[in-house]
Structure 1
Amino acid sequence: MLGIVADDFTGGLMIAGYIEGAGIACPVLFDKSELNAIEPAGVVVVATRTRLIPAAEAVAEVDDIAGRLDAAGCDKVAYKVCASFDSTDDGNIGPVADLLARRYGQSPLLLSAGFPRFGSTVHQGYLFYRNRLVSESIKRFDPLTPMTDPDLVRVLSRQTSAKVGLLPHAVLHAGYDAAQAAIGALSGDGVDYIMVDCSDDSDARLSARLAAPMRTTVGSDAHIIAVAQAVAEKSAAGATPVPAHADGPAAVLVGSVGPVAMAQLGAFAARYPVLTLDLLDERPEEAIIDEALRWAGTHMGDAPFAVTTADETEAVERAQKAHGTLQAARKAERLLAGIARGVVDRGVRRLVVAGGETSGSVVEALGVRRVRALPESELGTGFCIVETPLHLSLFLKPGKLGADDVLLRAVDAMHA
């Protein structure tokens, strides 16, 4: 049994969709207490919000969940991070890696970033996003985790006192035996953590094979999905049917910022109404939410509507300057979470949410504890079904992914 701890909600849901597509049930738990009643299965995902909380809190949270996964019978625990290794010099990937290496006596510990099918790759230890060094991509403008250094060995070394080495593509390309020999040599040189290249899917498959006998590993989507597929092949647990989509009004909430989010909102606004909230609005947050819900009430029906805190770059920068970068993001999340709770109370049953942290806030506000992810579709992954406390269809989307029309197509796809 494999237990996966995801550092955000959308990432956890995404990999669960791929695992479900491989033919094995993979429940996604948004509440770790659900582990107390989990049925033994091949793979389980516990989605957290550890990417951006203080490092000490992230470590404590993962340690608690790892203990619960151990008690549930997991013989392997993996920590799933963002494909572009989103983090700061304070963490949280390095501190969590330190915890897992210490907890499971794992030396060396293998780590991997990247997701080639979405244009995120690692070659010679350098991270590329959409065929550009991450430091030259839109990821360098991320408001909370700007990725300005493409050298992942160097990035990780700033987050941990452990010695970090590299297993490059050329060695992986030479095959399993060559890679094992390189791992042995690095370990002999005192390397504690080994960053494994992910130039293509074959690198990801080999990294999973190398991690197979290890008690724990850290990686992004491609690596963790490959690890899960290997576990699934050996598991007797089969897939059980995923519940049908819910029926009812639809709404879209967008908390992500940047050119991708703005293009997706533009395509949606060409057909349906969109309300943009001003983060510089000085009224109490409850008043802003109440006004937004009154607006939503006039549009709720057969056609979807959207509420967003995203805006043009200048407006976002003004809000960040006024509130601070993290506090501006947290205000946006609180507003959209309150609106999500309000529209669901008023009858919305299909909800599209863009942004990993926004998705986490919305799921928590709705009291969603556990979902089943739908297998990959033409829109990728991110669709899931909530059965309790209400029957809801959700599409939780990472902010930087998807075509311009993804919000429109997601709403259309969620029909009973």
Structure 2
Amino acid sequence: MLLGAIADDLTGATDLALMLAREGMKTVQVVGTPPPGFDLGDAEAVVVALKSRTIPAAEAVALSLEAARALREAGARQLIFKYCSTFDSTEKGNIGPVAEALMDFLGVPLSIACPAFPANKRTVYRGHLFVGDQLLSDSPMKDHPLTPMRDANLVRVLQAQTRLPVGLVPREVVAKGAEGIRAAFAAAVAEGPRLMIVDAIEDDDLRAIGAAAAEMALVTGGSGIAIGLPENFRRAGLIEGRTGPAKLEAPAGRPVILAGSCSAATRRQVAAAIAAGLPALKIEPLAIAEGRETAETVLAFIAAAGDGPALAYASDTPEAVAKAQAALGVERAGALVEHLFAEVATRLREKGYTRFLVAGGETSGAVVQALGVPALAIGPEIDPGVPWTLSLGDDRPVALALKSGNFGTDDFFLKAWGLLV
């Protein structure tokens, strides 16, 4: 194993694993830190999926360090700390505290932070994060129920989360290529900054950044940061040519869509699915709390929907989310939905459902944990950052598409099924 990655949520881990596989590394994703002796096969890259994005910073640090130790013991020469391409975090973390702790663990003088993912319209310019043509602070992320992002200046955002000095490698330096970027890194080590936000507006920028970071023990960023890293190992003769993700033969069984994300992208996908005639059931946290919506009612709806994919969704507007949170509390409102979908998924597998499309990082984590999936093989890409996967180490394998709430085209829920064999 050459490259180890620590992702702060499940869908982000899948996104990163897809990127590494697409760039030619044999990649396995594991759910939680693998125990000693866990069989990683011939994996060249291992991505550990944690659920650490919104938990207390101290807990996130502890989980991340545990994963880092396991990956290093398994042979990882370089580590990636992966977070969302919209830099999802709060004023207290968890990006800064985890990055700082990993740097201390590895004893490194410098690391980078680059959430750019141009294929999904996330770019960084002058240290400011853009979502499409909008500043992050003007995008729908400003209304995220757990990590509202109201400042697009990543230097300022990250500096508030860490004691380490934060600097910037601007676009005009990145445009000079790997040599220019390496020179900026060397200058930072001499001058004092320890964490460098790096501008990137296109994939070629990310490839240059990856080449410049070849000797870094730790890089941090969104999945886009992985675009340029496999080539370093290929250049050193440690991996072979690009093969891309393997084809995925999904187990026979019925399909279902479970959507917990309230992002603008997922709401558009729900609307498109309903407009196309997919059977759909809306689930509200207040109805769960009052006992009006239960696993039994959801299961009955899905069973009555026939053989095609039925959609159960809790996606709603920011106003509706705020109303539920005011009545139930932020944590309880989310937990009610996650627990319901987890129970539904478990019971659906018992009934022969083997193809699950899950929208939302928290929802995906709850479903995968409930199904007891220890690891995932990466299959075909549905949209940038979202592949089909197949559970590994499981006597009842299932196909899973685990979608970050913000990812995917409007017809994602409709077209995904055509990629399964």
Pair in the same fold by TM > 0.5: yes
Is the 1:26–1:44 Cα contact (8 Å) retained in structure 2?
A: yes
What is the deviation of 1:179?
2.4
Counterpart CA distance in 2 for 1:10 and 1:178 is 33
Question: Normalized against structure 2, the TM-score is what?
Answer: 0.93
1:318-355 deviations in whole A, cap 9, x for unaligned? 11111222331222111111111111111111110011
2:205 is equivalent to residue 203 of structure 1: yes
Cα distance change of structure 1 residues 260 and 381 upon mapping to structure 2, 3 Å threshold: closer
Matching residue within 67, 71, 74 for 2:73: 71
Is the 1:2–1:231 Cα contact (8 Å) retained in structure 2?
A: no
Q: Which amino acid aligns with 1:341?
A: T
1:186-215 deviations in whole A, cap 9, x for unaligned? 222211111111122122112111211111
> What aligned pairs does 1:19-98 form with structure 2 within 5 A after superposition?
19-33=20-34, 36-37=37-38, 38-39=40-41, 41-98=43-100
1:258-314 deviations in whole A, cap 9, x for unaligned? 332222111212312111112112657697112222222222x42110111112443
> What aligned pairs does 1:102-117 form with structure 2 within 5 A after superposition?
102-117=104-119
Cα distance change of structure 1 residues 343 and 62 upon mapping to structure 2, 3 Å threshold: same
Provide the residue aligned with 1:245 in structure 2.
250
Provide the residue aligned with 1:370 in structure 2.
375
Provide the residue aligned with 1:407 in structure 2.
413
Counterpart CA distance in 1 for 2:198 and 2:133 is 19
Is the 2:203–2:227 Cα contact (8 Å) retained in structure 1?
A: no
Is the 1:19–1:229 Cα contact (8 Å) retained in structure 2?
A: no
- What is the DSSP-based 3-state SS (H/G/I as helix, E as strand, rest coil) of the residue aligned with 1:89? coil
What is the deviation of 1:389?
3.0
Question: What is the percentage of aligned positions where both structures have the same residue?
Answer: 34
Provide the residue aligned with 2:363 in structure 1.
358
Cα distance change of structure 1 residues 333 and 229 upon mapping to structure 2, 3 Å threshold: farther
2:345 is equivalent to residue 309 of structure 1: no
Counterpart CA distance in 2 for 1:261 and 1:75 is 37
Matching residue within 267, 285, 294 for 1:288: 294
Is the 1:109–1:192 Cα contact (8 Å) retained in structure 2?
A: yes
Is the 1:80–1:224 Cα contact (8 Å) retained in structure 2?
A: no
- What is the DSSP-based 3-state SS (H/G/I as helix, E as strand, rest coil) of the residue aligned with 1:174? coil
Is the 1:76–1:215 Cα contact (8 Å) retained in structure 2?
A: yes
Counterpart CA distance in 2 for 1:201 and 1:14 is 16
Greater displacement, 310-319 / 281-290 = 281-290
> What aligned pairs does 1:143-222 form with structure 2 within 5 A after superposition?
143-222=145-224
Counterpart CA distance in 2 for 1:173 and 1:22 is 22
2:260 is equivalent to residue 268 of structure 1: no
Cα distance change of structure 1 residues 142 and 244 upon mapping to structure 2, 3 Å threshold: same
Counterpart CA distance in 2 for 1:42 and 1:237 is 10
Greater displacement, 211-220 / 280-289 = 280-289
Residue segments in structure 1 that go unaligned for 5+ positions in a row? none
- What is the DSSP-based 3-state SS (H/G/I as helix, E as strand, rest coil) of the residue aligned with 1:382? strand
- What is the DSSP-based 3-state SS (H/G/I as helix, E as strand, rest coil) of the residue aligned with 1:376? strand
Q: Considering only aligned residues, what root-mean-square deviation do their CA atoms show, in Å? A: 2.1
Greater displacement, 123-132 / 285-294 = 285-294
1:224-264 deviations in whole A, cap 9, x for unaligned? 23223433554247869554112211100000003322221
What is the deviation of 1:86?
0.8
1:342-389 deviations in whole A, cap 9, x for unaligned? 111111111100111111111001000111011435675321012413
How many residue pairs match? The answer is 414
> What aligned pairs does 1:121-136 form with structure 2 within 5 A after superposition?
121-136=123-138
- What is the DSSP-based 3-state SS (H/G/I as helix, E as strand, rest coil) of the residue aligned with 1:60? helix
Matching residue within 345, 351, 356 for 1:346: 351
What is the deviation of 1:98?
0.9
What is the deviation of 1:107?
0.8
Greater displacement, 39-48 / 353-362 = 39-48
Is the 1:3–1:74 Cα contact (8 Å) retained in structure 2?
A: yes
Cα distance change of structure 1 residues 302 and 35 upon mapping to structure 2, 3 Å threshold: farther
Q: Which amino acid aligns with 2:210?
A: A
Is the 1:42–1:235 Cα contact (8 Å) retained in structure 2?
A: no
Q: Which amino acid aligns with 2:411?
A: D
Is the 2:16–2:223 Cα contact (8 Å) retained in structure 1?
A: yes
Counterpart CA distance in 1 for 2:96 and 2:81 is 11
Provide the residue aligned with 1:4 in structure 2.
5
Q: Which amino acid aligns with 2:267?
A: M
- What is the DSSP-based 3-state SS (H/G/I as helix, E as strand, rest coil) of the residue aligned with 1:177? helix
Counterpart CA distance in 1 for 2:180 and 2:289 is 62
